[in-house]
Structure 1
Amino acid sequence: MTDFDTGVLADHQIRALIDAGHVQAPAFETGQIQPASLDLRLGDVAYRVRASFLPGKTRSVADRLADFTMHEVPLTGGAVLEKGCVYVVPLRESLSLPAGMTAAASAKSSIGRLDLLTRIITDRGTEFDRVPAGYDGPLYVEICPRSFSVVAQPGQMLNQIIFRNGQTRMSDDDLRALHAASPIVDCDPVISDGLGFSVDLRPDSGTRVGYRAKPHTGVVDLSRLAHYDPRDYWEEVHTDSGWIILDPGAFYILVSRESIAIPPMQAAEMAPYIAMVGEFRVHYAGFFDPGFGWAAAGGTGSRGVLEVRCHEAPFVLEHGQTVGRLVYEHMSSHPQALYGQDIKSNYQGQGLKLSKHFRT
């Protein structure tokens, strides 16, 4: 196959991977390849399982499904995946990675904003959403609706995968140099093991700072865009004090105080939750494509939408409190298409925004 420079593979390099047989599927669709990632599609059946699982170093996902499956749910024509239940769905794509190349997966932005926990699992896997170098085998997605039951169909794209050739992560010194050359945030950057970001609880106008998922709602059909009235699914969160109290078990949509930019030769991933910052988790949609925020509003960046779930104890969240960090990575090549310029991008230039399934 073609040799790639070190970095996250760009769109044209992902096409080369497909052409060389390292990513297989019955057919690929137009728009499935993003600037630095590949969208993954659901297969035809979901397996309702007793519990979330990882197969472990010696077993396949099929082995574990034989142990834990309660019943099969055909997805053709649409099927309800119920809130609080766990499902495993074989994906249409499979991998045969070259030696030295790894892959990582994440929920797509709209899926994270629905509080829909989706994680990729592989044969002999010991981590969610991580594919080891040289992996040869099928891909599956675990789906656990947390706030809303959903209607899913074959072919829908809930997750995305990136391909890393070698060590791609930027050092803090590299990140400071990048910011000096092409600003990646609209304020003085907080750089420590990545770019820190904080929560905005003092909006420029009004008192609305977020949304909280209602506990009892109807289903969300994943195929219906700009369809649902937000008031049927969400409560607005208001404050004029610069702080809110997160309730245990509740799910919130908030927004970052900073506007973030991802230049064309970088990609970024939201780092995993760190317990030291408080009793909550900022989670789900992890990847930021090259071009995110880079040309929005004259280059001043786009806000990051935060998907927040509180843990065991009520927690006071203050304006400007650090809630996470972005880890920037080198691209292997300049993408042929950039997020927000050359492809349809629902969240370029965004502020506080629900998923694309809801009317504005």
Structure 2
Amino acid sequence: MTASTNGIFQADDIRAAIGSGVIGLGAEAGAAQIQPASLDLTLGAKAWRVRAAFLPGREKTVEGRLEEGLGLHELDLTEGAVLEKGCVYLVKLRESLTLPFGVFARANPKSSTGRIDVFVRLVTDMGTSYETVPAGYDGPLYAEISPRTFSILVREGSSLNQLRIRRGQSALSDDELSALHVADPLVTGVADIEGGLRVSVDLGGSLGGIIGYRARRHTGLIDIDKVGALAPDDYFEPIPRPTNGFLILDPDEFYILASREELRMPRDLAAEMVPIDTDLGAFRVHYAGFFDPGFGLEAPSRAVLEVRGYDAPFVLEHGQTVARLSFERLSGEPALAYGAGMKSNYQGQGLRLSKHFNMG
């Protein structure tokens, strides 16, 4: 039926889970929907504009809460619809889950979603936390969508988030990470390992004179499904390398930056970039946190950092730790890893905007 060993399901396990009904599909899975260690989730035809973000609670369904007055109006995504910035929406996904006991799932926004400042979280019936699906869950899946800077155009079948399924405990300890780095380096240079692999920010211009981008406030729509269609300057302002070595993050502004480290993800491991800890600063880094096996193996690849300031201006220094990567074992090595064979968008990336922009 599914993977018998502990670890994150790899592509063959995902296909088996679809075949056995553990993963239910509202439409036939497209060739690009199954990734080396995750499944791209897709929007269904039915969506709601809601009064506020919410979790249904232990004894209620999502649609039950909508009927209690949290839903404002219903949208039909069949022919496409605009999701406006500053609003919160809930969309029923085409996928559903019937998880056996001992098998869990976790979701995250896709890289392209986070890079345009669209906040997406998975919601389940009887759910008390975002992004997690407990063992034994049997029911529908929903995406809570909140565009923060840009209004977006979506339609049935659009993909904004992704799902990882795992059996048992598969996380690597710091000691295991340290030993792995000695045998097969995870980053260029010295690895800073404490509660996972620490990642720092590059403000020194090693990738050129531009060290990042700051989002513009008043722009046109972004069509989620169109690749390379937009001019970067219409949506982002380039940030030149600071002469003083630091960047002041303005409150509630959105930035695209890059890690100082080049990452190398072994083919039998996957990683997740953990949201910012309170001890690392007054900002949030990386809405989209999944790194697939094989990332960075074909060519040097940085982590692109999606950064949003909080309530007060904050000084970000060159080389400052901004996030941590937690690593997990796969149930087995995937036949095809992240890279050219998968037509992956961000292999070999340095500082790069989402796939929606024509970077030349």
TM-score of the alignment, normalized to the shorter chain, above 0.5:
yes
CA distance in structure 2 between the aligned counterparts of 1:64 and 1:94, rounded to whole angstroms: 19
Q: Which runs of 5+ in 2 are unaligned?
A: none
Which structure 2 residues correspond to residues 35-54 of structure 1 after superposition, within 5 A? 35-54=36-55
CA distance in structure 1 between the aligned counterparts of 2:230 and 2:2, rounded to whole angstroms: 46
Q: % of aligned pairs identical?
A: 54
The answer on whether the counterparts of 2:340 and 2:347 sit within 8 Å (CA) in structure 1 is no
Which structure 2 residues correspond to residues 300-339 of structure 1 after superposition, within 5 A? 301-339=300-338
Which structure 2 residues correspond to residues 147-162 of structure 1 after superposition, within 5 A? 147-162=149-164
- Runs of 4+ with >3 A deviation: none
> Measured at CA, do residues 170 and 319 of structure 1 come closer, stay the same or move farther in structure 2, by a change above 3 Å?
same
Which residue in 1 is equivalent to 2:58?
A: 57
Which residue in 1 is equivalent to 2:111?
A: 109
Alpha-carbon distance, 1:240 to partner? 2.5
> Measured at CA, do residues 37 and 205 of structure 1 come closer, stay the same or move farther in structure 2, by a change above 3 Å?
closer
Which residue in 2 is equivalent to 1:163?
A: 165
Alpha-carbon distance, 1:241 to partner? 2.3
CA distance in structure 1 between the aligned counterparts of 2:210 and 2:317, rounded to whole angstroms: 14
**2:94 aligned with 1:92:** yes
Which structure 2 residues correspond to residues 277-296 of structure 1 after superposition, within 5 A? 277-296=280-299
**2:265 aligned with 1:266:** no
Q: Which amino acid aligns with 1:273?
A: I
CA distance in structure 1 between the aligned counterparts of 2:336 and 2:262, rounded to whole angstroms: 22
Which structure 2 residues correspond to residues 227-238 of structure 1 after superposition, within 5 A? 227-238=229-240
Match of 2:175 among 169, 173, 176: 173
The answer on whether the counterparts of 1:291 and 1:341 sit within 8 Å (CA) in structure 2 is no
The answer on whether the counterparts of 2:207 and 2:351 sit within 8 Å (CA) in structure 1 is no
CA distance in structure 2 between the aligned counterparts of 1:2 and 1:277, rounded to whole angstroms: 38
CA distance in structure 1 between the aligned counterparts of 2:106 and 2:208, rounded to whole angstroms: 39
Which structure 2 residues correspond to residues 60-209 of structure 1 after superposition, within 5 A? 60-67=61-68, 68-204=70-206, 206-209=208-211
Task: Name the TM-score, length of structure 2 as normaliser.
Answer: 0.97
SS at match of 1:117: strand
Q: Which amino acid aligns with 1:243?
A: F
Alpha-carbon distance, 1:206 to partner? 4.2
What number of residue pairs does the alignment pair up? 356
Which residue in 2 is equivalent to 1:276?
A: 279
The answer on whether the counterparts of 1:87 and 1:142 sit within 8 Å (CA) in structure 2 is yes
CA distance in structure 2 between the aligned counterparts of 1:285 and 1:35, rounded to whole angstroms: 16
Alpha-carbon distance, 1:3 to partner? 4.9
Q: Which amino acid aligns with 2:257?
A: L
Alpha-carbon distance, 1:8 to partner? 0.6
The answer on whether the counterparts of 1:207 and 1:240 sit within 8 Å (CA) in structure 2 is no
Q: Which amino acid aligns with 2:262?
A: S
CA distance in structure 2 between the aligned counterparts of 1:158 and 1:120, rounded to whole angstroms: 10
Q: Which amino acid aligns with 1:285?
A: A
Q: Which runs of 5+ in 1 are unaligned?
A: none
> Measured at CA, do residues 359 and 3 of structure 1 come closer, stay the same or move farther in structure 2, by a change above 3 Å?
closer
Which residue in 1 is equivalent to 2:4?
A: 4
CA distance in structure 2 between the aligned counterparts of 1:152 and 1:144, rounded to whole angstroms: 13
SS at match of 2:44: coil
SS at match of 1:342: helix
> Measured at CA, do residues 253 and 126 of structure 1 come closer, stay the same or move farther in structure 2, by a change above 3 Å?
same
Which residue in 2 is equivalent to 1:355?
A: 354
The answer on whether the counterparts of 1:268 and 1:327 sit within 8 Å (CA) in structure 2 is yes
Alpha-carbon distance, 1:45 to partner? 2.1
Q: Which amino acid aligns with 1:114?
A: I
Which residue in 2 is equivalent to 1:343?
A: 342
> Measured at CA, do residues 205 and 278 of structure 1 come closer, stay the same or move farther in structure 2, by a change above 3 Å?
closer
CA distance in structure 1 between the aligned counterparts of 2:341 and 2:356, rounded to whole angstroms: 23
The answer on whether the counterparts of 1:228 and 1:358 sit within 8 Å (CA) in structure 2 is yes
